[in-house]
Structure 1
Amino acid sequence: MLNHFKPTWMVESIYQITPEQLKNENIKAVLTDLDNTLIAWNNPEATEETIEWIKRMKQNDIKVVILSNNSRKRVKKVATILDLDFIPSALKPLTIGFKKALRKYSFNKDEWLMVGDQVITDIRGANQAGIKTVLVKPILDSDAWNTRLNRFIELKILNYLIKKDPEMKWRDTIDVRRIEK
């Protein structure tokens, strides 16, 4: 019933995902949520850890694109600092932003990975678009006011999914069995 919220993998942090892991899964491009996935929601700047992770991806020819529900102004500020392409106002969980990325870049659907911290928007939207997913823990325990309700609902969804599938566990890599949907 709630399988459209189920991630392919659960990894504690985006920074634990390596180019080698992605290449083992034939992933050539990463869509990443912005707030509380790539950077803290209340910080418009990138950390050294963020900059290093993106640098490693670029050195290994892994395309990284920010896919965010935030405004163009907010996303562009961070994307410019990180020298990344971006798709703002993505309307996740609708598939509009995901389809835009699939049209814009010459990768097959199975060569993409979506990384995000919310099952309701990031994971559900990518699953609907047929893209593999990684759920990460939010960088901060706090959220913007408009995300708090989602967190309450997603906790119930995650608890249900974990109860139904004990293999749904937080890990430090995607180099493990995929979570069966």
Structure 2
Amino acid sequence: MFSKYKPTWMIEAIYQLTPEQLKKHNIKGILTDLDNTLIAWNNPKGTKEFHDWMNQMENAGIPVIVVSNNNRRRVSKAVEKINLDFIHGALKPLSFGIHRGVDKLGIDANQVVMVGDQIMTDIRAANAAGIRSILVKPIVNTDSWKTKFNRGMEKIVMRHLLKKHPGMIWKGDLE
């Protein structure tokens, strides 16, 4: 029952992903959640680390598309200055937004990874869509009011997953 919430990998932060790691795992495109994964939910402009990581992916030819449950206005405001493509109203944990993202990337789903900070939405949606996933720790320890319920459920699910899969540990890379 809980296996539909199990991430393929768990790393501390999206910014630890490098083009070399991705290429080693035949990943040619990234779908990512926005809030608390790519940027802090309360800092829509992002940090220097965010901009450096985006430049690294762009220079390596690895496209990044935001897949967010947020509305168009919120997502476009966050990504407009870096010309980042996005899917808004993704309906995660359903696979609808993930499939749209894979279609936009124009590459095989087995060459795409979804990165997110929530197992209840991001990881569940990736698993439902049949693509690999990376769970990251939230950038900040606070959440918008919409996310607080999910965080409580996430703790219960993680306890069950960790009992069944003791190898699920936070790492600094995909190895």
- TM-score scaled by structure 2? 0.98
In structure 2, give the amino acid aligned to 1:18. Answer: T
Confirm or deny that 1:51 pairs with 2:51: yes
- Aligned pairs for 1:93-172 (under 5 A) are 93-172=93-172
Distance in 2 between residues matched to 1:16 and 1:105, nearest whole Å: 22
Q: CA deviation at 1:83?
A: 1.7
Distance in 1 between residues matched to 2:141 and 2:168, nearest whole Å: 21
In structure 2, give the amino acid aligned to 1:114. Answer: M
- Partner of 1:135, secondary structure, is strand
**Two-structure CA RMSD over aligned residues (Å):** 0.8
Q: Deviations for 1:46-83, whole angstroms, at most 9, x for unmatched residues?
A: 11100000000010010000000011011001111222
In structure 2, give the amino acid aligned to 1:96. Answer: F
Residue aligning to 2:3 = 3
Aligned partners of 2:21 and 2:173 also within 8 Å: yes
Q: Which runs of 5+ in 1 are unaligned?
A: 177-181
Distance in 1 between residues matched to 2:164 and 2:96, nearest whole Å: 30
Which aligned runs of 4 or more in structure 1 are off by greater than 6 angstroms?
Answer: none
Bigger shift: 92-101 or 109-118? 92-101
Residue aligning to 1:79 = 79
Aligned partners of 1:46 and 1:81 also within 8 Å: no
Q: CA deviation at 1:102?
A: 2.2
Count of residue pairs the alignment pairs up:
175
In structure 1, give the amino acid aligned to 2:161. Answer: L
In structure 2, give the amino acid aligned to 1:53. Answer: W
- TM-score scaled by structure 1? 0.95
Aligned partners of 2:29 and 2:105 also within 8 Å: no
Distance in 2 between residues matched to 1:50 and 1:81, nearest whole Å: 13
Q: Which runs of 5+ in 2 are unaligned?
A: none
Q: CA deviation at 1:160?
A: 1.1
Identical aligned residues as a percent: 50
Residue aligning to 1:15 = 15
